[in-house]
A and B are shown apart, each in its own frame.
Chain A
């Protein structure tokens, strides 16, 4: 049998050698910490503090508004400076709590939160995860407690830990797997125990043999967890593709993984679950890869949420070029280009990727030559060339009819297009338009 995978996809230069051997090290912020109230899918959190309040590390500073929302905890100690709209990496201004960091990093007493696992009911575990403010840390930021509360709880039979890390340049998940594999296994066991029939799969791309070896060794006596190497191919870590590769089950854009009995978690999310349940620590830090050819050195930092991105670049000795071409929050395929470095690290920030040159602005789109490359690589098996044509005519109805909503915006079509058309951008924009119309 061949390696587990899906049809389509691409093999871009992965750039992981730049940072994959850099051990995780702590970075403690020096300046203000900024906490956007909306760093997850769902309603923005409501502030619990006001100007002048003193807060500690791990203190809940904003509370989930409703079920689909998430708590936010401070990563620094200090006083609340203000609550005002601040710029985020996504390029929008979001109401944020700004904390004047006193540099003491005084913590709340986490031991109070620790309860023996065997005395907890399932609901208690989910409550603890919700209380810790954990959201999907791969980027989408879907609240984890919501994911763990599907309508068909009894049907959940597969928990997949997404260790594919298929985005080029990112190495934060890899470092987690190498350095704290035990936390991943324990975290996964906590999740598995929430469901009667669930088994665990840790799916890792086969370009990370060390991680596969470590986790395989660690789980060899655990019946209900298997480590599965999956083929190295972008976007292997996309939720739908990962579920298909591991279970053969397909879901479309109108379904949730739970509809086919699956729940998928990112590596850092699983570690956050471990931290919350075993160490009593809420989500106030994450791993951020700082990499690219425009920085003097690369690193995998354990960063307090709220840290200014500029501090991380400065910690690398700044840029090695006067004007870096492009700074990306996240990976090169799905990350967002930043126009300001003065934005906070949030729950979904996986990397700061710094390029000396911007490849995209050097190319100019030309006529489609109908080569069919986009159709061949599309993991959603739609026809990007056709969708882009329909989209540029603004025909939303036809766009939906031609399965435009099945696009996962992975970027493969734009990547391979020889005419350098901005296919993903056109299609993604139209998808947003359709979704906005549906809400109305």
Chain B
């Protein structure tokens, strides 16, 4: 008897990882920070998260339908964008802010450039910066325990001290997902262990940022001040940015060396913006600026192929 056998080119087996599964892992890794954010800021944070995710998915599906492309919301990338956007918003924003942000992230930054894999900057961060510039007041007003307050990083910039422990745990003012360093570290380490992201970008980012900050501290005559350093590492969007935004596949270098350069560049820019900039925060701008340099970084860091320049053995 004869069989109908399937034919295809080798290899004939595939790894577990699919785009959907990788995105799913990122969502799982963001859960500690998300859940903590909802615990920290209350139900209003959950509402922002839901609005953001749902509108990202609707915008993506709607746009793809409109231009008669295959609807790809099943890959979960729009969910990740929505979640990241929400985690970058203050918990008190009016409902239209996440909707507008989602529109900007999905339609302007992602779909108009060709969809997943084609965008040149991180959609969630692009939207955050757009919102920051357009609605500065609403985006920088933080309340904590019903009291309008400055974020720890802003207090630090104003020369006040910092409570490093509560910054580590996250019981401070800030955007929904950025306050808890420990929750973000758990998620970030999970992604590295699961080999969803490579360690290079976060390690070189946080490492170089620390080095630049220490050099600066010494240069201006401060002694070794661990509290200052830790407050900078745990404060603002650094942890969220280093593990979840800078490592965005699409907008970070693909080459191993490129990842290192990218990390160091981020560390340097974040240091510059935070130390000399007008705002206390600098992570978002550092990342989207570096996103723009990725093609250049990749061009100069193409790996040397195996055996290139090998000499005949005499």
A residues in contact (CB < 8 Å) with B: 6, 10, 12-13, 91, 155, 168, 240, 244, 249-253, 255, 259-261, 319, 323-328, 332-339, 341, 353, 355, 358-361, 363, 366-373, 375-376, 379-383, 385, 402-403, 406, 409, 411, 414-420, 422, 424-425, 428
* Residues in B neighbouring A376, C-beta threshold 8 A: 198, 256
Is B225 interfacial (CB 8 A cutoff)? no
Query: What does DSSP make chain A's interface, helix, strand, loop or mixed?
Result: loop
Question: Nearest-CB distance from B258 to chain A (Å)?
Answer: 9
Asked whether, in the complex, the Cβ of A424 is within 8 Å of the Cβ of B10, the reply is yes
Asked whether, in the complex, the Cβ of B313 is within 8 Å of the Cβ of A249, the reply is yes
Cα-based distance from A155 to B314 in the complex (angstroms): 7
Asked whether, in the complex, the Cβ of B198 is within 8 Å of the Cβ of A403, the reply is no
Question: Nearest-CB distance from A381 to chain B (Å)?
Answer: 5
Asked whether, in the complex, the Cβ of A373 is within 8 Å of the Cβ of B13, the reply is no
Q: State whether A375 and B5 are in contact (beta carbons under 8 Å apart), knowing that A249-B313, A418-B17 are contacts in the complex.
A: no
How many residues of chain B get a CB closer than 8 Å to chain A's CBs?
44
Q: What are 21 A-B contacts defined by CB distance under 8 Å?
A: A10-B15, A155-B313, A251-B307, A252-B307, A332-B12, A333-B11, A337-B6, A361-B6, A363-B14, A366-B116, A367-B116, A369-B116, A369-B250, A370-B250, A370-B254, A371-B254, A372-B259, A380-B305, A416-B15, A419-B18, A425-B9
Asked whether, in the complex, the Cβ of A372 is within 8 Å of the Cβ of B307, the reply is no
Cα-based distance from A334 to B13 in the complex (angstroms): 10
Q: State whether A383 and B303 are in contact (beta carbons under 8 Å apart), knowing that A325-B5, A370-B254, A376-B256 are contacts in the complex.
A: yes
* Residues in A neighbouring B92, C-beta threshold 8 A: none
Interface residues in B92-125 (C-beta closer than 8 Å to A): 115-118
Q: State whether A325 and B6 are in contact (beta carbons under 8 Å apart), knowing that A355-B12, A369-B249 are contacts in the complex.
A: yes
Q: State whether A324 and B306 are in contact (beta carbons under 8 Å apart), knowing that A367-B116, A425-B9 are contacts in the complex.
A: no
- Name the one of A168, A249, A327, A337 contacting B8, with C-beta atoms under 8 angstroms: A337
Name which of B11, B198, B303, B313 has the most chain A CB atoms within 10 A of its CB.
Answer: B11
- Name the one of A252, A339, A418 contacting B306, with C-beta atoms under 8 angstroms: A252
Question: Nearest-CB distance from A253 to chain B (Å)?
Answer: 8
Beta-carbon nearest neighbor of A372 in chain B: B254
- Name the one of A10, A261, A360 contacting B12, with C-beta atoms under 8 angstroms: A360
Q: State whether A424 and B116 are in contact (beta carbons under 8 Å apart), knowing that A255-B312, A366-B72, A383-B254 are contacts in the complex.
A: no
Question: Nearest-CB distance from A273 to chain B (Å)?
Answer: 24
Name which of A91, A355, A415 has the most chain B CB atoms within 10 A of its CB.
Answer: A415
Cα-based distance from A244 to B306 in the complex (angstroms): 10
- Name the one of A91, A244, A332, A402 contacting B11, with C-beta atoms under 8 angstroms: A332
Question: Nearest-CB distance from A427 to chain B (Å)?
Answer: 10
Question: Nearest-CB distance from A84 to chain B (Å)?
Answer: 21
- Name the one of B9, B14, B19, B313 contacting A259, with C-beta atoms under 8 angstroms: B313
Write the B112-144 contact mask toward A (1 if CB under 8 angstroms, else 0): 000111100000000000000000000000000
- Name the one of B3, B10, B77, B249 contacting A411, with C-beta atoms under 8 angstroms: B10
Question: Nearest-CB distance from B78 to chain A (Å)?
Answer: 13
Q: State whether A363 and B18 are in contact (beta carbons under 8 Å apart), knowing that A337-B8, A425-B9 are contacts in the complex.
A: yes
Is B22 interfacial (CB 8 A cutoff)? yes
